[in-house]
Every structure is written in C-alpha cells, then in structure tokens.
A = this chain, B = another copy of it.
Amino acid sequence: MSYALHYHRGIPGRGEFVRLLFVHAGTPFHDLPALPAQDAAQHFAPPLLRYTSAADAPPDFAAEVELSQTPVILYFLASRLGLAPSDEAGRLAVQQRVETILDLANEVHDVHHPVDASLYYEDQRDVSLRRAPYLLQLRVPKFLSTFAAQVSASGNGWLHSSGVSAADLVLFHLLEGLAYAFPRYFGTLKKEARFAPLFELQSRLRETESIQRYLKSEARTPFNEYDLFRHYPELDAEYTGKV
C-alpha cells in the first residue's frame, strides 16, 4: 500500500487538509513536490494523490488511483483511514461537512485575492479592506453557527455522531488558520459561548499525541503569507457582528 501526495512546497495550503488525515491516522505517506503541469493535464490544480493498494485491500476498493480535488481526495482517504462512518449515509454526511468547511476556507483565501489569484495582494488591497468586514462579521460566524449546531446534535463533541472524522480535522486546520490570520478577531470570537464547542474540538485535536508531535516537527510547514491563510494586520478586527 502506498500513498503519495503531490503538492506545492513552502505552503501548508490545501495539501495540509490531506496531511492532517494521514497524521491523525498514523498512516505513512510520501510528501512530494507538485508535478509540472504537463504531467497532470487531466488535473486542474494540486493537490494530487497517487495511491496503490495493498494486496489485501477489500475487493470493492480500487487498486490504483490518481486523484485531484481536495474534497475528493479527502473523501477517498476518510474511508480508508478510519475517518468516516462505514455506512453510506454517514460517509456522505461527513463529506457534506468537509465540503462546507472547504467552502469557508475558499472565502478566507478570497479575502486577500478578491480580484484575481494572479495579482499580488498589494494590487487589490483596497478591495480586501472592503471585503474583510463581511468575511469576519457575517460569513465566518454564519458558517461556524452551522458547525456548532452539528457538534451539538452529534452529542459527542465532534461534527458527526460516529466520532472523530475527516470533517473534524478539516475544521481543525481552518480554525488554526483563522487564529493565525486574524489573531485579534479570533481572540474576541473565543469569547462567544455559542462557538465554544468548536474551540474545544480544536483544542482536543491539538492535544492528540500524533497531531502535537507533527505540529512541532519539521514535516509541518508553518503558516506564511503565500498561503490560503495570511496575516495582514490591516484586515484583522475585533468580532462585533457588524460590518
């Protein structure tokens, strides 16, 4: 059995959502650079996962897979790494949570690139300054309210009643990213009792031995200003709920 993750060097990016699944499951994988575009003409953008199964894989599991699209890679891995329920309805419910969290991650990215990803932040900062209050005061709280309702409904402190899943690890990285990008904001958000179950989920995962060891290791690329989550102090603000 072999897993190879191809992703850009130097940024956690979307590859990090995938890495955290491997880390939490204790499953080794090859962490490799992104492929030149001509080698991946079938795929739109990294990450790319290449997988070869073990001889004893279940018969309905594919033997070889080459996959791109972060949510699809996460769906594929969650089943294999024990991070999804074994029943179809449960697997899809977890995936629905994964996709929604990734949607919010995209919105967090777009706040520093509201005109186009090919332009420097500095060349669209005026629009970022207009957009950031909507992200921080309306969008993030709207998403987090849904996630908090899901944690309440599960009754076990995780996003789904089956226990810790891929969705929790994706949410963990999103919350870590928000804390890095918007420290003032995150500090005030933590005072909101209605979101407390989410910050408890985050702490619980950060204190997991495997995650803690990973976060302190050289295998982990620190957040930085080439990434999805960027710390631009001028975009940060206290949470007030008002734009």
Residues of A within 8 A of B (CB): 41-44, 60-62, 64-65, 67-69, 71-72, 75-76, 87-89, 92-93, 95-96, 99-100, 103, 106, 110, 114-116, 118-119, 127, 130-131, 134-135, 138-139, 142-143, 146, 149-150, 153
**Prevailing SS type, chain A contact patch:** helix
Is B130's CB under 8 angstroms from A115's CB? yes
Residues of B within 8 A of A43 (CB): 96, 146
Is A44's CB under 8 angstroms from B146's CB? yes
The 5 closest A-B pairs by CB, nearest first: A116-B134, A62-B89, A62-B88, A69-B99, A69-B96
* Cα separation A60 to B92 with both chains bound (whole Å): 13
* Cα separation A76 to B96 with both chains bound (whole Å): 11
Copies in the complex: 2
Is A44's CB under 8 angstroms from B115's CB? no
Is B115's CB under 8 angstroms from A115's CB? no
Is A96's CB under 8 angstroms from B72's CB? yes
Complex partner residue of A95 from B61, B72, B127, B135, CB under 8 angstroms:
B72
Residues of B within 8 A of A146 (CB): 41-44
* Cα separation A79 to B55 with both chains bound (whole Å): 26
8 additional contacts (CB under 8 A) given A67-B92, A115-B131:
A42-B150, A44-B100, A62-B88, A68-B96, A72-B92, A114-B114, A115-B127, A115-B130
How many Å from the CB of A122 to the closest CB on chain B? 15
Residues of B within 8 A of A127 (CB): 114-115, 127, 130
What residue of chain B has the Cβ atom nearest to residue A133's Cβ? Answer: B116
How many Å from the CB of A103 to the closest CB on chain B? 8
- What are 14 A-to-B residue pairs whose CB atoms are below 8 Å? A41-B149, A42-B149, A42-B150, A44-B142, A60-B88, A64-B89, A65-B92, A67-B92, A71-B99, A72-B92, A72-B99, A114-B114, A114-B131, A118-B138
